[in-house]
A and B are shown apart, each in its own frame.
Chain A
Amino acid sequence: MKTCLVVDDSSVIRKVARRILEGLDFKIEEAEDGEQALTACKRQLPEAILLDWNMPKMDGFEFLRMLRRMPGGDGPKVVFCTTENDVAHIARALHAGANEYIMKPFDKEIVEAKFQEVGLI
């Protein structure tokens, strides 16, 4: 079973994402911000990361840059999931090493399509 780290400061979003991803046979870990996510990744790298952009302490963009510099940090497939729904943010995310990008609001079909796109399903 693949592991997905869901990183979002909203407990509601984490709950919705958990329900969708567990339905797609993922084991879920949760983090409330970039710092917690980085700690989780240092402990064990997941196969997938569903990543919010705007979060307290460390935002998703900064987390991604640090993740990609870690040993083995190029392994996890990172799918942004954010309300930053403009081309400039998408381009920045891709440039920093994101694999896919979900614009909120999202549903199961979108998550499934994006995870398929990057070969996680």
Chain B
Amino acid sequence: MTPHDFDYLRKLLRERSGLVLSAEKQYLAESRLVPVARRHSIATLGDLVGKLRSGENSSLATDVVEAMATNETFFFRDKVPFEHFTQTVMPALIAARAREKHIRIWCTAASTGQEPYSLAMAIRGMNAALAGFRIEIVATDISAEVLARAKAGIYSQFEVQRGLPIQLLVRFFSQVGETWQIAPEIRDMVQFRSLNLLKDFSPLGTFDMVFCRNVLIYFDQETKIDVLNRIARQMPEQSFLALGAAETVVGLTDAFKPMTDRRGLYIPNAAKRVTPPSNILKFALKA
């Protein structure tokens, strides 16, 4: 791949998915795109970029974006955000939504499903406190391929041993040959949808808790700000945002403020709410 080809690829990734690939990551692009070229019967990566430029094969661009997206994930990743979820977020939401008895949670980059399923298992463990509540977990990802895996809920022995307590494995999984499949009662708690965060996500509705962990790190500053501000518009008062350990809203937007003593957890900044949730705005415009 020539430097010129690589520049074109970086531009395409940024425009289509917001992914920022730094100049020194050419090796990464080459290692991930060789299998894509092979799948499309394309001889070289130069030819692959040529076909992308010609626009003659739209599925090729989708496959390139999917191959370059990082799908690293595991059950209860980083542990602390899930402790925040059960010990801080859910008790607060149970009190705040006592009348509606409806809580909506969004995993913005669900990858192969470990994060939303971890939340579903955590919620199952809170059954008594949630009596009468309707809990929705919406899990989105840009990659159709990983979403298909997530929906199937089938994991290798290696995957179920990274972060998943053994008691939960026994309780919520069944063994299928060498693999482990998550129980229907957990799978049915999660709705998986294909979504590009660069596009309008207001039709998803509003959310009381948004997990947007280890997503923003792949975006440039401008995209981070845009995505955070649009997420803020989907969140009512008394709601929560979780970001990854290497991410923050500080210096990007004042739509959220960090929670004291709860690293990685943010709440909408009531003083800075100037725009109503976009679905409410749409409704108002229609009326």
User: Chain A: residues with CB nearer than 8 A to chain B?
Assistant: 85-87, 90-91, 94, 100-103, 106-107, 109-110, 113-114, 116-117
Q: Are B175's CB and A114's CB within 8 A?
A: no
Q: List 20 A-B contacts (CB under 8 A).
A: A87-B170, A87-B174, A87-B175, A94-B166, A100-B166, A101-B166, A102-B161, A103-B157, A103-B161, A107-B158, A109-B162, A110-B158, A110-B161, A110-B162, A113-B162, A113-B163, A114-B161, A116-B79, A117-B165, A117-B166
State the total of A-B contacts with C-beta under 8 angstroms: 34
Q: Are B162's CB and A90's CB within 8 A?
A: no
CA distance A65 to B277 in the complex (A): 58
User: Chain B: residues with CB nearer than 8 A to chain A?
Assistant: 74, 79, 157-158, 161-163, 165-167, 169-170, 174-175
Q: Are A113's CB and B161's CB within 8 A?
A: yes
Q: A87-B170, A102-B161, A103-B161 are in contact. List 11 more A-B contacts (CB 8 A).
A: A85-B157, A90-B169, A94-B166, A100-B166, A103-B157, A109-B162, A113-B162, A113-B163, A114-B161, A116-B79, A117-B163
CB distance from B11 to the nearest CB of A (A): 35
CA distance A100 to B160 in the complex (A): 13
CA distance A81 to B157 in the complex (A): 13
CA distance A54 to B29 in the complex (A): 45
Contacts of B174 in A (CB 8 A): 87
Contacts of B167 in A (CB 8 A): 94
Contacts of A101 in B (CB 8 A): 166
CB distance from A77 to the nearest CB of B (A): 12
Please give me the 9 A-B residue pairs with the lowest Cβ-Cβ distance, nearest first: A101-B166, A110-B161, A113-B162, A103-B157, A100-B166, A117-B165, A113-B163, A90-B170, A87-B175
